[in-house]
Amino acid sequence: MAESWVLLALCGLATYAWRGLGARLSSEIDAESEVFAWISCVAYAMIAGLIARILVMPTGALAETTLVERALGSAVALGAYFWLTRRNLFAGVFAGAAAVWLMKLLI
């Protein structure tokens, strides 16, 4: 079991390496510079890429759902958020998850 704790510590350190490096380097970056504009594009693109990948090609538990189910669930979430409830995040997220749950249950 000690081995699992070492593994967790290493994963925590590996994740913090990026965070700490960012904190260290951030003092040398000018928020008005072109480099900053480029880095913020990369930050948004990395996040969007990760979320899109999880929704389109998930691994693990989410892989039990089909692409159609996830696409419909996402569409229901967006619809509930933007049109039905005037941007209520709670309603959007729960409607989307409930839609996937219902599709799995009924089909």
Partner 1 sequence: MSRAALVLGAREAAGVPAAVLAAGYLGFGALAAGHGLPLSLVVASTLAVWALPGQLILVEMNTLGAPHFAIVFTVALSSARFLPMTLVLMPLMRDARHRGWHYYVLAQLLALTGWTMAMARFPEIERAQRLAWFYGFTVVCLAASAAATATGYLIADLLTPLAKTGLVFMAPLYYLLILVGGVRQRTAALALACGALAGPLAYLGSAQWSVLVGGFAGGTLAYLIQRQGRLGG
Give the whole-angstrom CA distance, residue 82 versus residue 49: 22
Which residues ranging from 14 to 43 are in contact with partner 1 (CB under 8 A)?
Answer: 14-23, 25-27, 29-31, 34, 36-43
End-to-end CA distance of the chain: 41
Which residues ranging from 69 to 88 are in contact with partner 1 (CB under 8 A)?
Answer: 70, 73-74, 77-78, 81-82, 87
Query: Shortest approach of partner 1 to residue 68 CB, angstroms?
Result: 14
With 0-12 CB in 10 A as exposed, 13-18 as middle and 19+ as buried, what is 79?
A: middle
Residue 60 interacts with partner 1 (CB under 8 A): yes or no? yes
Residue 106 interacts with partner 1 (CB under 8 A): yes or no? no
